């Protein structure tokens, strides 16, 4: 059995860890509320914009398609991997890295792959493979639509220029504080609209329907990327809050076990001392 001093040091260490994890849990809970409100408020707008774009696109002629919908033979693929800059959030980052590796090794096997890392963890994981074309870890320092729009514009330029034939986004979709869903969405080319075209014969479009679509597509793509990063940002704080809650519970349980072990060891030490004193006294009497 460990000596009393060693057990006391372990109790002190576990108690300090418990204070840190508890503080991190409260910080993440405060940040989660703001991030959750932001993504909840944004989703209806993003969904309505996509619905409007699909409604208009479905009525266009096949030969009047957008340059962002051009289907090419897929040889060069860009994967936008969205992680966090910090750890201590459970499987939040490892799930994204695992899914990206699956896309590289299985889904797009044999193709030339590049990764745009949004978040330090993605950059650390894929820079060793030499496939990271850019690192956008600083985006979380000032997460605004304008800053994300610059990244989206860069992606659109690379696709139109023919540098990449397909661009996909991998991120964690926020469901609740305890659940994040790994999503893989095609960013470019634009996914064709399924279903029948919507009849808009009662509407007069000014300017033309094609011009409206051409203006909506870049805005919709920027919104799609912004929503993905916002989802990931909220998911990060939810995952970290959950992970720190579990860590605090585990530390509390370990501290209680150590205290019980300490009390047993202390009781055994006192009993041994009493036995030694009694034994010594009897030896003197004899």
Report the Cα–Cα distance between both ends of the chain, in Å, rounded: 34
Residues in Cβ contact with 183 at an 8 Å cutoff, skipping those fewer than 6 apart: 169, 170, 171, 172, 173, 228, 231
Tokens of 215: 């203006």
Stretches where the chain sits below pLDDT 70 are 1-2, 54-65, 192-203, 205
Domain total for the chain? 1
Q: Does residue 43 sit within a domain?
A: yes
pLDDT at 202: 60
Q: Does residue 224 sit within a domain?
A: yes
Q: Does residue 235 sit within a domain?
A: yes
Kindly report the length of the chain.
286
What domain range is 55 assigned to? 22-192+206-243
Q: Does residue 274 sit within a domain?
A: no
Nearest to 193 by CA among 28, 24, 54, 3: 54
Q: Does residue 76 sit within a domain?
A: yes
Q: Does residue 14 sit within a domain?
A: no
Q: Does residue 49 sit within a domain?
A: yes
pLDDT at 195: 52
Q: Is 89 a catalytic residue?
A: yes
Give me the catalytic one of 7, 18, 89, 116.
89
pLDDT at 164: 95
Cβ atoms of 161 and 136 closer than 8 Å: no
pLDDT at 191: 73
Q: Does residue 265 sit within a domain?
A: no
How far CA 26 is from CA of 17, 91, 146, 200, 237, in Å, comes to 14, 19, 30, 51, 10
Query: How does pLDDT run across 139-173, given as a tens digit for each residue?
Result: 998 999 999 999 999 999 999 999 999 999 999 99
CATH number of 91's domain: 3.40.1380.10
The span from the CA of 90 to the CA of 87, in Å, is 8
pLDDT at 46: 87
């Amino acid at each position: 059995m460990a000596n009393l001093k060693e057990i006391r040091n372990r109790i002190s260490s576990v108690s300090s860890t418990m204070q840190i994890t508890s503080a991190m849990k409260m910080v993440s809970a405060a940040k989660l509320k703001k991030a959750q409100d932001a993504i909840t408020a944004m989703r209806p707008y993003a969904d309505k914009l996509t619905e409007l774009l699909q409604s208009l696109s479905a009525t266009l002629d096949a030969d009047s398609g957008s340059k962002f919908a051009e289907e090419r033979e897929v040889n060069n693929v860009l994967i936008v991997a969205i992680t966090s800059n910090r750890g201590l959030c459970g499987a939040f980052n490892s799930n994204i890295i695992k899914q990206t590796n699956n896309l590289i090794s299985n889904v797009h096997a044999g193709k030339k792959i590049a990764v745009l890392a949004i978040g330090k963890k993605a950059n650390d994981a894929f820079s060793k493979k030499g496939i990271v074309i850019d690192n956008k870890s600083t985006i979380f320092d000032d997460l605004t639509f304008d800053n994300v729009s610059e990244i989206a514009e860069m992606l659109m330029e690379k696709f139109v220029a023919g540098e990449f034939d397909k661009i996909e986004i991998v991120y964690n979709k926020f469901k609740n504080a305890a659940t994040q869903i790994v999503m893989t969405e095609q960013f470019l080319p634009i996914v064709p609209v399924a279903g029948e075209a919507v009849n808009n014969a009662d509407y007069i479009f000014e300017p033309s329907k094609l011009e409206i679509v051409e203006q909506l597509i870049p805005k919709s793509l920027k919104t799609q990327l912004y929503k993905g990063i916002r989802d990931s940002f909220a998911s990060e704080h939810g995952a970290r809050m959950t992970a720190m809650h579990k860590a605090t519970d585990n530390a509390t349980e370990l501290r209680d076990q150590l205290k019980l072990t300490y009390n047993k060891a202390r009781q055994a030490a006192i009993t041994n001392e009493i036995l030694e004193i009694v034994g010594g006294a009897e030896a003197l009497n004899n």
